[in-house]
Amino acid sequence: MQPEVSQPVTAAPAAVNPFQARFEALRQHAPVLRREEVGGRRARLQKLYNWLHANRRAIHEALNADFRKPAAETDMTEIWTSLVELKHTMKHLKQWMAPRPVGTSMALLGTRSWVQIEPKGVVLIISPWNYPLYLAVGPLISAIAAGNAVLIKPAEQTPATSALLERMCQELYRPEEVTLVQGDKEVATDLLKLPWDHIFFTGSPEVGKIVMRAAAQHLSGLTLELGGKNPAVVDDTANLRDAAEKIVWGKFLNNGQTCVAPDYLLVQESVQPELLRELSAAIQRAYNPNGEGIQHSESLARIVNQHHFSRLAGLLEDAQTRGATVVAGGTVDASQNYIEPTLLTNVPAGARILEEEIFGPLLPVLTFKTLSETTEYVNARLKPLAQYVFTNSTENRRYLLANISAGGAGINETVLHFAHPELPTGGVGNSGLGKAHGHSGFLAFSNEKGVMRQRVGFTGIKAMYPPYTPKVRKLIELLVKYL
């Protein structure tokens, strides 16, 4: 009998990534963008600035088609914020790109050092549906400013805006500079298999973990703009009418579909009744000024789709079933994906609305007696993307900022810090990784290369080269001790 001979196994050919060609076009062009001077980058940003102005009506129509976003709200939260970011970046770009000199220690006398900024290369931006224009354009501004080739994957839940973004990219940029791919999670999965130099993802912590695992396969750089349960603390020194108006604006802007919106209130027990009255009145002033009913308001967006509507309606039903009280609102209409701005009290521990990020127009109002109770409650949970403090007490403000960890904060204000181009925005822990906007966004897409220049034929530590004789060891000992 002849011994068996192992037959060679023919491996199945590896599947070709459907986006490999686009990726390669970007990668081949990246060295050209790397060498681009400030004028070229600024010109590409200026084209984007002009396009946003010229297509303002089309942007209004796209956002209205996707989830009935009011034109005024689109102007304020999508267009204006993008224009502010563009103007700030174009103004400071030359300064950001310039080499940054650094000092020299005594031990390194004779050298000259600086930090040189270079683009990371080829980057992927995965943007969300809740602010589908701004949260795609914002990272794009930073990526272009830093000199990268860019691919954008916008959210499939807002198809009208995604189509408009694709037209924008085609009209403004060559495909090897900036390109856009539409599609669902399967498309995102294929894109994440490619070896990007940096990935910028905005979305939920659950999907952020998937993106992080994919980035690890290629050790890609990563920025995660996630979310979480953002607390707003109102103490007994606060101006309650002022606090109520700002909380109502920040919470129900975009119908609550804002990653930095207040997720729940912690109100000092003694002022809760008055604050609830002010909150209810502020809702009516904002969304029912003529008494025709909030559902008829043209100032309130809708929930983006049936899936998210059902999730939010389920949170509300679960809270009520467990004994929560609806103080204001509570009306839902599945035919319009409509949920009325709703205030809830007496929400028991264990209710889903206290455990999950709400991301909609439902606001639980909890109470506290002492300030330490608020920090204990917040710190027992995952770190939020934002915290808000309403107080006229400097001591209370300092205590809450010092004892609660959050990605960002607002004092006697909500949400607005996110639009400040000089402030880094981003999360901490479960709410995100890395920072964005302004100079922070530029650095997120850049490599800070440390450079040292030495004179030819000279080095300050040549006397400490091997062999390590007693004399050399003595010099090293002096270096360690004194320098």
Convert the pLDDT of each residue in 366-403 to its tens digit.
Answer: 999 999 999 999 999 999 999 999 999 999 999 999 99
Contact 223, 433 (CB under 8 A): yes
The stretch 87-105 carries a mean pLDDT of: 96
pLDDT number for residue 8: 42
pLDDT number for residue 460: 67
Q: Are residues 26 and 171 located together in one domain of the fold?
A: yes
Predicted confidence (pLDDT) at residue 479 exceeds the cutoff of 60: yes
List the catalytic residues: 225, 259
pLDDT number for residue 362: 98
Q: DSSP code of 105?
A: -
453 domain residue, yes or no: no
15 domain residue, yes or no: no
pLDDT tens for each residue of 319-372: 999 999 999 999 999 999 999 999 999 999 999 999 999 999 999 999 999 999
Predicted confidence (pLDDT) at residue 12 exceeds the cutoff of 70: no
Predicted confidence (pLDDT) at residue 478 exceeds the cutoff of 80: yes
188 domain residue, yes or no: yes
Predicted confidence (pLDDT) at residue 240 exceeds the cutoff of 80: yes
pLDDT number for residue 107: 80
Predicted confidence (pLDDT) at residue 2 exceeds the cutoff of 80: no
Q: Are residues 296 and 339 located together in one domain of the fold?
A: yes
Q: Are residues 56 and 117 located together in one domain of the fold?
A: yes
482 domain residue, yes or no: no
Q: Are residues 115 and 28 located together in one domain of the fold?
A: yes
Comparing C-alpha atoms, which of 165, 259, 242 is closest to residue 203? 259
Q: Judging by DSSP bridges, how do beta strands 386-390 and 231-234 pair with one another? A: parallel
Alpha helices in 132-237 (DSSP H): 134-145, 159-172, 185-192, 205-218
pLDDT number for residue 3: 38
Predicted confidence (pLDDT) at residue 448 exceeds the cutoff of 90: yes
373-382 long-range contacts, CB within 8 A, separation 24+: 374/231, 374/233, 374/266, 374/400, 374/404, 375/399, 375/400, 375/403, 375/404, 377/231, 377/266, 378/231, 378/266, 378/404, 379/403, 379/404, 379/405, 381/229, 382/205, 382/228, 382/229, 382/429, 382/430, 382/431
pLDDT number for residue 483: 75
Q: Are residues 241 and 203 located together in one domain of the fold?
A: no
pLDDT number for residue 4: 39
Distance, in Å, from the CA atom of 88 to the CA atom of 438, rounded to the nearest integer, reads 7
Q: Judging by DSSP bridges, how do beta strands 231-234 and 264-268 pair with one another? A: parallel
pLDDT band at 13 (very low <50, low <70, confident <90, very high): low
Predicted confidence (pLDDT) at residue 457 exceeds the cutoff of 80: no
Q: Are residues 37 and 173 located together in one domain of the fold?
A: yes
pLDDT number for residue 464: 81
- Predicted TM-score (pTM) of the model is 0.93
pLDDT number for residue 454: 87
Distance, in Å, from the CA atom of 118 to the CA atom of 121, rounded to the nearest integer, reads 9
pLDDT band at 417 (very low <50, low <70, confident <90, very high): very high
Q: Are residues 122 and 136 located together in one domain of the fold?
A: yes
Distance, in Å, from the CA atom of 27 to the CA atom of 123, rounded to the nearest integer, reads 9
Query: Three-class SS of residue 368?
Result: strand
Tracing tokens 């959050």 back to the chain, one arrives at 406
Task: Choose one of 397, 426, 455: the last residue of a domain.
Answer: 426
pLDDT number for residue 340: 98
Contact 118, 446 (CB under 8 A): yes
Q: Are residues 179 and 287 located together in one domain of the fold?
A: no
- Phi and psi at 382, nearest 5°, equal -65, 150
483 domain residue, yes or no: no
pLDDT tens for each residue of 256-288: 999 999 999 999 999 999 999 999 999 999 999
| Residue 215, domain extent | 20-226+436-447
Tracing tokens 């009290």 back to the chain, one arrives at 345
Q: Are residues 89 and 199 located together in one domain of the fold?
A: yes
Sheet containing 231-234: which strands, arranged edge to edge? 325-328, 342-345, 362-368, 264-268, 231-234, 386-390, 408-411
Alpha helices in 334-386 (DSSP H): 352-355, 371-379
Distance, in Å, from the CA atom of 48 to the CA atom of 31, rounded to the nearest integer, reads 22
1 domain residue, yes or no: no
Average pLDDT, the chain: 95
Q: Are residues 207 and 307 located together in one domain of the fold?
A: no
Token digits for 318?
């679960």
Contact 332, 231 (CB under 8 A): no
47 domain residue, yes or no: yes
SS3 content of the chain, % helix, strand, coil (to 5): 50, 15, 35
Comparing C-alpha atoms, which of 313, 239, 314, 233 is closest to residue 274? 239
Predicted confidence (pLDDT) at residue 310 exceeds the cutoff of 80: yes
CATH no. for residue 404? 3.40.309.10
Distance, in Å, from the CA atom of 229 to the CA atom of 134, rounded to the nearest integer, reads 22
Q: Are residues 325 and 410 located together in one domain of the fold?
A: yes
Predicted confidence (pLDDT) at residue 10 exceeds the cutoff of 50: no
Q: Are residues 211 and 251 located together in one domain of the fold?
A: no
CATH no. for residue 32? 3.40.605.10
Total structural domains within the chain: 2
376 domain residue, yes or no: yes
Quick one: what percent of the chain has pLDDT higher than 90?
90
Higher pLDDT, 480 or 179: 179
